[in-house]
Amino acid sequence: MSLESRYRPSSFGDITFATPAQTTALSPYFRGLTRRPLILHGPPGGGKTESAKLLPAAICPDIQQADIMELNGSKENGIDKIRSVFDGFARTTKSNSMDLGVIIFNEADGLSKDAQDALKGEMEAVQEYCLVIMTTNHVQRIHDPIRDRCRLVEFPLPNTQLLLPLAQRIMRDHGEDVSGDHLLAVLSAETWPVGHLSYRKMFERVETLIAKRREAAATGRAS
């Protein structure tokens, strides 16, 4: 099992956000104050997709997997697909106490023009009982009428200081004793923006560091 699979957050509360603004923007959903459609946007590796998957259970603890539909906007991107999702899934009774359905469009910028035109009306029609969450690396490719109907939450790359505790935990779990300063230097090297790193890159760097240290130990060289 990869480090990313083993250490990915299991609940929304496990997510470390890059900025307080993310928590502020999402808190009305936890309190049941809004079901306005969401667009989670930012560079790859900032936690958008993982947050979209874990958010429904944070809003409705007894939500079932059958109450959630996840689509890839770059593949399932036609107007017929949009209509079938909203005519069928969105309007059926759900099995949770809030009767809440959730539709997640990953890579929503891949939706065709006709699909986006259909989506803007459908989102509003089902908003009372179905939450639409979109993720995208390119928010400017989502049409203005859709963006105007949504709450936009930016997911920038986290600061390496925020990633350090998880990286330290992984090293400890693998029996590696590494100073915080050294580990932070590994995470921060050659980053852009300076001092910021995606979760994927963090896992890659920690995995590489573990492999190098074990190789050094096996050959009797100082690490």
Tell me what the mean pLDDT of segment 96-104 comes to.
95
pLDDT of residue 221: 60
| Listed residue (50, 60, 51, 37) closest to 131, CA to CA | 37
Q: What is the distance between the alpha carbons of residues 17 and 154, in angstroms, rounded to a whole number?
A: 10
Q: Identify the bridge partners of residue 131 per DSSP, sorted by sequence position.
A: 102
In the CATH scheme, what architecture does the domain 3-154 have?
3-Layer(aba) Sandwich (3.40)
Q: Which residues contact 105 (CB under 8 A, 6 or more apart)?
A: 71, 72, 73, 111, 132, 133, 134, 135
Model pTM score: 0.91
DSSP 122-151: HHHHHTTTEEEEEEES-GGGS-HHHHHTSE
The model's confidence at residue 223, banded by pLDDT at 50, 70 and 90, is very low
* Digit-coded pLDDT (tens) for 126-179: 999 999 999 999 999 999 999 999 999 999 999 999 999 999 999 999 999 999
Which tokens in the block code for residue 49?
A: 């997709």
For residue 156 the two structure tokens come to: 């920038």
Burial class (CB in 10 A: 0-12, 13-18, 19+), 43: middle
In DSSP terms, 103 is beta-bridged to: 69, 132
Query: Cα separation of 119 and 108, whole Å?
Result: 11
> C-alpha 20: how far from its chain's center?
16
Which residues contact residue 179 at a Cβ distance below 8 angstroms, ignoring those fewer than 6 apart?
A: none
Q: Residue 40: phi, psi to the nearest 5? A: -100, 115
Angstrom distances, CA of residue 195 to CA of 49, 62, 156, 162: 22, 39, 12, 10
In the chain, domain spans: 3-154, 160-218
Q: pLDDT tens digit string along 27-79?
A: 999 988 999 999 999 999 999 999 999 999 999 999 999 999 999 988 877 88
